[in-house]
Amino acid sequence: MSKKKKDTAAEVQADATDESAAVSPTTGVTDVVATDVEDADVLDISKSAPDDRATEGPFDESEANPVRPYIDLGGVKILPREGLNLRLEVEESTKRIVAVGLDYAGSTLQIQPFAAPRSTGLWHETREQIQEQIARQGGTVTERDGVFGPELLAEVPVVSGSDGSAGTRVARFVGVDGPRWFLRGVIAGEAATNDEAAAQVEDLFRSVVVVRGSAPMPPRDLIPLVMPPTAAPTD
């Protein structure tokens, strides 16, 4: 994990079941650092994705059902469902939206879409970077096979409580390489350790649609995220 970023955007309260979103202060956004590689096809990195990704998700925009009522966030589209709450995580220094946070089934799912090469993937290399970063912070990581392919189960050191006592947070890092994009998810809460909650959040991750667009982007650049057009600030 990279350095934490604090978010200071004004809140827009919302419930994702009615296709709106909330910007709220959050911390702990994890970045995949961008590189200067213009053509990562030269790298020997295979794609990592479920065999049924194109039909079961996560979806490319070209694969998604055009009549479904998605929440349009620019780089991703989210399918509303009962009990789902959505927030946008904003970088304080730039006011740029850097991640989408989804609260569901007693769990949290943070998603970030990145540009990727057409014929190679980013998840294999990204897992190594995450493992190194967590180890430097004093955490532990186990790599295992999951429903999306290789994933990381991590215990991350955190400061908890008003007294500043040290603790750990369990999180699952999942990733899927798609057509010219890479979607990363960080799962925490019940879905990190409970099979029933995990199945619900995995289904949520499967339903995400990535909108890569046709504009040239260096591999690892965050695909721009935007406020949904239906969201409006509350008093």
154-208 pLDDT, tens per residue? 999 888 767 777 888 999 999 999 999 999 999 999 999 999 999 999 999 999 9
Instruction: Compare 18 and 214 and report the one with higher pLDDT.
Output: 214
Report the distance separating Cα 90 and Cα 199, nearest Å.
28
Report the distance separating Cα 14 and Cα 18, nearest Å.
8
Question: Residue 110's pLDDT band (boundaries 50, 70, 90)?
Answer: very high
Question: Residue 35's pLDDT band (boundaries 50, 70, 90)?
Answer: very low
The answer to whether residues 172 and 111 touch, using CB atoms and an 8 Å cutoff, is no
**Looking at the predicted structure, is the pLDDT value of residue 5 above 60?**
no
Question: Residue 51's pLDDT band (boundaries 50, 70, 90)?
Answer: very high
Average pLDDT, the chain: 82
pLDDT recorded at residue 45? 67
pLDDT recorded at residue 165? 79
The answer to whether residues 145 and 155 touch, using CB atoms and an 8 Å cutoff, is no
Instruction: Compare 115 and 13 and report the one with higher pLDDT.
Output: 115
pLDDT recorded at residue 159? 80
What is this structure's pTM?
A: 0.80
Residues in the chain, how many?
A: 235
The answer to whether residues 25 and 6 touch, using CB atoms and an 8 Å cutoff, is yes
pLDDT recorded at residue 163? 72
Q: What angle do CA 193, 198, 202 make, to 5 degrees?
A: 140
Structure confidence by residue, pLDDT tens digits, 217-228? 999 999 999 998
pLDDT recorded at residue 170? 96
Tell me which of 38-47, 53-62, 82-91, 140-149 is least confident. 38-47
